[in-house]
Structure 1
Amino acid sequence: MSELPPEQENGSEIPGNQGHPLHLHNRSQIEKRIASQETRKLKAREEKHHTIWFGLGMFGLIGWSVAIPAVIGALAGMWIDSRWPSRYSWSLMLLIGGITLGCFNAWKWLHKEGNVDR
């Protein structure tokens, strides 16, 4: 145990220590963040539905969320190319657009499901 009074133990009475990251003002924020992270870890340990089948299902769901917009984009591009030929490939452009949209949707869904507190 320290023989310093409680005001000096946390560093608030030390001159020039106001910018220290563990200053009393920031300490409560840090404690709340650590408590939040600990409860998330404990909750993750208690959940039993994260089996191999859950992981494979998640993998499939993410795959389909990317594949469907890509296929729709490619089909729409092929239709445009067959109706109005041009020197630019609408199939390729819309395929890339579909993949981009699908990846964005998958990232957003994973971010929401991950319960990220930032």
Structure 2
Amino acid sequence: MSDLPPEQENDSGSSEMRGHPLHLHNRSQIEKRIASQEARKLKAREEKHHTIWFGLGMFGLIGWSVTIPAVAGALLGMWIDSRWPSRYSWSLMLLIGGIALGCANAWKWIHKEGNVDR
């Protein structure tokens, strides 16, 4: 411990850090990061907020991106089942495959819309 009061101990340590070039470099990076965050927040405030119609449109887009591959898979499966009967149901397998493909497609759209700034 030192005989100096706490105020002087803090000042002596910070004066040593002020002269250190690494400290100035870190300070510059911090200032740049804060400035970019502030600019991003100001931009978000200025942007027009999405309306209910935008939300309904996105809901419809996601719904159709799942529905179309599922229906297409089921129709293709029914066609295969009618031409080449087998022990396995191609309709069911391709319906499940279409749903999986549609869900992956919907996830891609949601992920893309959710990370507009990044």
TM-score tier by shorter-chain length is 0.5 to 0.7
The correspondence of residues 70-109 of structure 1 with structure 2, limited to 5 A, is 70-109=70-109
**TM-score between the two structures when normalised by the length of structure 2:** 0.67
Q: Give the Cα–Cα distance (whole angstroms) in 1 for the partners of residues 42 and 50 of structure 2.
A: 14
Find the structure with the greater CA-based Rg: 2
CA 37–59 in structure 1, closer or farther in 2 if over 3 Å, else same: farther
Bigger helix fraction: 2
Query: Partners in 1 of 2:116 and 2:97 — Cα distance?
Result: 28
Report what 2:43 is aligned to: 43
Q: Distance in 1 between matches of 2:63 and 2:81?
A: 27
2:112 corresponding residue in structure 1: 112
Whole-angstrom CA distance in 2 between matches of 1:59 and 1:6: 58
Unaligned runs of 5+ in 1: 14-23
Distance across 2 between alignment mates of 1:50 and 1:106: 19
Residue in structure 1 matched with residue 17 of structure 2 by the alignment: 7
- What does residue 18 of structure 1 align with? none
- Asked whether 1:61 is paired with 2:61, we answer yes
Cα-Cα RMSD:
3.3
TM-score for the superposition, normalised by structure 1: 0.67
Structure 2, unmatched stretches of 5+, are 1-6
Q: Number of matched residues?
A: 103
The answer to which structure, 1 or 2, has the higher relative contact order (CA under 8 A, 6+ apart) is: 2
Q: CA deviation at 1:6?
A: 6.2
